Amino acid sequence: MAGSVQTAQKPGAVTTLRSNRLTWTRRATRLVLYIYLTAGALLVLIPYVWMVSASLKAPAEIFQAGVNFLPTSFYTANYEVLFGDYQIVRWLVNSFVVGGIVLLTNMTFTVMAGYAFARLRFKGRDFMFFVYVGAMMVPIQVRLIPSFIIVKNLGWLDSYQGIASIQLVEFFGIFLIRQFMLNFPRELEDAARIDGCSWFRVMWQIILPNSKPALAALAIFTFTASWNNFLWPLVVINRPDWMTIQVGLSSMKGEIIPWGVLMAGTFVSAFPLAVLYILLQRLFVQGIVTTGIKG
């Protein structure tokens, strides 16, 4: 009798042992994954830490041998020179204005185009969308000369509209919004249309309020691309007072490069983007995750 009871208990004990092993295996795998991701994140942050550290170092200390991420003393003269001898405030204002123009036009026209490609039915819709997708593959170097000729003939050199003209509508933004809006059930629109809503009202009151993650992702991508754009502003800007922040930082380099001042300017340039990402981080991640690849 006792032997039969012990025999009956063995399968349960084996199942428990296997369950414990599986649990510990999952925990170990997750721990290794967290360690790997943490190490990767720290590795990516090293250049940014050095940038901030170098902006607070004296010129002689920057080139000291060895690993010296932390400054021995906070040398604020780099920031004093940056804001005193260079038009850093003007460059920041120019970048904010251009970024605002690009953000406004993309959040208007790009969103409406993405909505049309995703939710409306019209002749040639799929062909036009593939043309837009193909335009994404054309590098800016190919469009540089014809775009410059157009902007010059319009008299837009050294102007906000000339700097922003090449990014007024981003093809990637249209693709992003379309892919996100394809996931909405058609019944939402059908019910609204039965109640007498126009297509524009459907977009404004039903689709857009439920598209905040995609809109946040579009806003971050658009503003970041405009803020970091260097080649096109370099082509259309001839006067120092119209320089954007990236072109302005490039102009600081000469025969002798003030690395401490340049790192201070780079930190000032990166700060607004970091703030924007922190404010929209939750919606941004959600928008990237929920944007499918439905065709």
> Can you give the pLDDT at residue 50?
87
Query: Are residues 215 and 273 located together in one domain of the fold?
Result: yes
And the tokens for 199? Answer: 């297509």
Q: What is the pLDDT of residue 294?
A: 43
Query: Is pLDDT of 293 > 50?
Result: no
pLDDT for the residue numbered 92: 95
- 72 within domain boundaries: no
* 83-139 pLDDT per residue, tens: 988 999 999 999 999 999 999 999 999 999 988 898 888 888 888 888 888 888 888
Distance CA 160, CA 104 (A): 13
Is residue 71 situated within a structural domain? no
The three-state secondary structure class of 72 is: coil
Lowest-confidence segment of 142-151, 158-167, 197-206, 212-221 by average pLDDT: 197-206
Domain assignment present for 69: no
Distances (CA, A) of 229 to 3, 194, 279: 79, 45, 22
Better pLDDT: 151 or 199? 151
Determine, yes or no, domain membership for 212: yes
Q: Are residues 14 and 46 in the same domain?
A: yes
- Each residue's pLDDT tens digit, 61-79: 887 766 677 777 888 889 9
For residue 154, the Cα-to-chain-centroid distance in whole angstroms is 31
Same domain, residue pair 207 and 85: yes
Number of domains in the chain: 2
For residues 257-272, average pLDDT? 90
Distances (CA, A) of 116 to 107, 123, 187, 203, 212: 14, 12, 17, 9, 17
In sequence order, the 6+-apart residues with CB closer than 8 A to the CB of 266 are 51, 55, 249
Confidence of residue 276 (pLDDT cuts 50, 70, 90): confident
Res 160: pLDDT? 94
pLDDT of residue 5: 46
* Same domain, yes or no: 164 and 29: no
Residue 34 structural domain: 2-62
Is the residue at 67 inside a domain? no
pLDDT of amino acid 268 = 93
2 has a pLDDT exceeding 50: no
User: Which pLDDT score, from 0 to 100, does residue 12 have?
Assistant: 61
Taking the C-alpha atoms of 235, 239, 241 and 245 in order, what is their torsion angle to the nearest 10 degrees? Answer: 20
What is the distance between the alpha carbons of residues 73 and 57, in angstroms, rounded to a whole number?
7
pLDDT value at residue 1: 45
Are residues 115 and 48 both part of a single domain?
no
Domain of 259: which CATH number? 1.10.3720.10
Q: Of the residues 19, 35, 62, which one is the last residue of a structural domain?
A: 62
pLDDT at 11: 61
Terminal alpha carbon distance of the chain: 66
As a whole number, mean pLDDT of residues 197-206 equals 81
> Do 173 and 51 share a structural domain?
no
Q: Quick one: 39 and 183 in the same domain?
A: no
Tell me what the mean pLDDT of segment 13-40 comes to. 83
- Above 60 in pLDDT, residue 290? no
Mean pLDDT of the chain: 84
Residues 102 and 24 in one domain: no
* Residues 92, 42 within the same domain: no
Statement: residue 211 has pLDDT above 70: yes
At which of 62, 87, 109 does a domain end? 62
Residue 92, domain member (yes or no)? yes
Same domain, 185 and 252: yes
pTM over 0.95: no
Q: What does the pLDDT look like over 227-243, one tens digit per residue?
A: 999 999 999 998 989 99
The answer to whether residue 73 sits within a structural domain is: no
Query: Do residues 228 and 95 both lie within one domain?
Result: yes
| Token pair for 1 | 């009798």
68 is a domain residue: no
Query: Is 198 or 31 the better-scoring residue by pLDDT?
Result: 31
Candidates 203, 211, 198, 185; CA nearest to 283 is: 211
For residues 10 and 128, state if they share a domain.
Answer: no
* Structure-model confidence comparison of residues 217 and 150, the more confident one: 150
